[in-house]
């Protein structure tokens, strides 16, 4: 069974309901498949693929029964979400896009496409931090970092990068989340700012490590932590997802150490948001076991927000 035959089957199951296909001993299916039908029905791969399509079409028919317009779209998104981590989630999308999707208005198609993007492409979190104070920050956490990531990692990395975000990512990913962490993706923010902006506006949560250097204003220098916050904040407002808990600020030290005594006026709204949404107000006061517990709770909150946003989107 080749890909063309698979695509032909998908087209057939996208076009007809289960009841229509089962009429007259699968006449429409036989006609659609053509001369190779008798050969294919004896093929193990075909049988497996056929069963997956048949089951999927039945689920879709149940989901769409009696629904019209936007309720069809939301029903399809609900089914797609349920299939998201299964092997047949792409098959589910293909059947919808090649069938009922074509009957919707452009607005409904856009709504479905946006929902699919949220389900399949958004990351769980974006982590924002600065390397500008890496030596002092790494020293403040010189007991925690090796305890979590090992002595070898700490020795190899402490003079090159802020290690604390690595600790946060280690725990969040350990709980099954997937995030954007630029250690794996970029070397210089100014070179790929559009890439950064793309990633920080396609996530469910914004996690920012805040220290004194974070809110330091240097004339003529780009403060990426500020720009990442600003971009995410604008996007949240624009997309009307403001009611959800999506900001998680983690302060490395007490507020009187972290916040500049003479803050730049430009950073006023940012500082206010940090104060209002601080998830941890003094990370340095916690042991690595306490940090581990807080990160587990953070992962749970992010995952709950993700599911609530999706359910509200298609309910």
Successive 10-residue mean pLDDT values, the chain, 315 residues: 82 90 83 79 82 92 91 94 88 94 96 95 95 94 96 95 96 96 56 77 96 92 92 90 93 95 92 96 96 98 96 92
Helices and strands of the chain, counted as H and E runs: 17, 5
168, 87: one domain = no
CA–CA separation, 224 vs 229, rounded Å?
8
Out of 69, 93, 120, pick the residue that ends a domain: 120
Output the pLDDT for position 32.
Answer: 81
Q: Tell me if 49 sits within 8 A of 7, measured CB to CB.
A: no
114, 141: one domain = no
First to last CA, the chain: 38
* Range 145-180 burial, b when 16+ CB lie within 10 A, else e: bbbbbeeeebeebbeeebbbbbbbbebbbeeebebb
Q: Tell me if 80 sits within 8 A of 119, measured CB to CB.
A: yes
149, 267: one domain = yes
Output the pLDDT for position 8.
Answer: 87
Distance of CA 246 to the CA centre of its chain: 12
Output the pLDDT for position 1.
Answer: 62
Out of 104, 120, 136, pick the residue that ends a domain: 120
Q: How many domains does the chain have?
A: 2
Q: What residues make up the domain containing 168?
A: 123-314
CA–CA separation, 200 vs 207, rounded Å?
10
- Phi first, then psi: give them for residue 2, nearest 5 degrees: -100, 175
31, 75: one domain = yes
CA–CA separation, 225 vs 143, rounded Å?
26
Output the pLDDT for position 80.
Answer: 92
154, 176: one domain = yes
233, 272: one domain = yes
Output the pLDDT for position 192.
Answer: 62
CA–CA separation, 28 vs 9, rounded Å?
11
Out of 63, 94, 120, pick the residue that ends a domain: 120
262, 143: one domain = yes
Output the pLDDT for position 263.
Answer: 85
Three-state DSSP class for 251?
Answer: strand
Task: Give me the half-sphere count of Cα atoms (radius 13 Å) on the Cβ side of residue 172.
Answer: 25
173, 258: one domain = yes
Output the pLDDT for position 289.
Answer: 95
9, 30: one domain = yes
Output the pLDDT for position 49.
Answer: 86
CA–CA separation, 137 vs 212, rounded Å?
10
105, 17: one domain = yes
Give me the CATH number covering residue 159: 3.40.50
166, 286: one domain = yes
CA–CA separation, 284 vs 291, rounded Å?
9
Q: What is the value of pTM for the model shown?
A: 0.89
CA–CA separation, 202 vs 96, rounded Å?
23
Output the pLDDT for position 191.
Answer: 55
Output the pLDDT for position 219.
Answer: 87
Between CA 204 and CA 213, with CA 208 as vertex, the angle to 5 degrees is 160
- Phi first, then psi: give them for residue 87, nearest 5 degrees: -65, -25
116, 145: one domain = no
User: Within 41-104, where are the H helices?
Assistant: 44-64, 70-83, 89-98
């Amino acid at each position: 069974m080749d890909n063309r035959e698979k695509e032909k089957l998908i087209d057939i199951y996208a076009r007809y309901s289960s009841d229509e296909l089962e009429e007259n001993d699968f006449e429409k299916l036989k006609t659609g498949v053509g001369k190779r039908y008798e050969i294919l029905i004896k093929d193990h791969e075909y049988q497996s693929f056929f069963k997956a399509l048949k089951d999927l079409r039945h689920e879709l028919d149940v989901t769409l029964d009696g629904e019209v317009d936007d309720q069809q779209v939301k029903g399809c998104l609900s089914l797609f979400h349920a299939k998201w981590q299964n092997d047949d989630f792409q098959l589910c999308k293909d059947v919808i896009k090649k069938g009922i999707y074509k009957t919707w208005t452009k607005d409904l198609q856009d709504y479905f496409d946006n929902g699919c993007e949220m389900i399949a492409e958004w990351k769980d979190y974006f982590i924002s931090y600065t390397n500008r104070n890496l030596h002092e920050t790494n020293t403040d956490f010189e007991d925690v970092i090796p305890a979590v990531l090992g002595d070898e990692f700490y020795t190899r990395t402490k003079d090159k990068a802020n290690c604390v975000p690595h600790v946060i990512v280690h725990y969040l990913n350990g709980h099954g989340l997937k995030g954007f962490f630029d250690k794996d993706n970029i070397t210089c923010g100014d070179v790929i700012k559009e890439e950064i902006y793309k990633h920080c506006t396609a996530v469910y949560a914004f996690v920012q490590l805040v220290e004194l250097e974070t809110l330091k204003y240097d004339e003529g220098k780009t403060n990426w932590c500020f720009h990442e916050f600003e971009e995410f904040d604008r996007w949240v407002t624009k997309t009307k997802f403001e009611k959800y808990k999506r900001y998680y600020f983690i302060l490395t030290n007490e507020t009187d150490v972290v916040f500049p005594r003479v803050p730049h006026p430009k950073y006023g709204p940012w500082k206010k948001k940090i104060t209002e949404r601080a998830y941890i107000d003094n990370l340095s006061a916690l042991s690595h076991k306490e940090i581990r517990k807080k990160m587990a709770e953070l992962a749970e909150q992010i995952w709950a927000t993700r599911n609530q946003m999706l359910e509200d989107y298609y309910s």
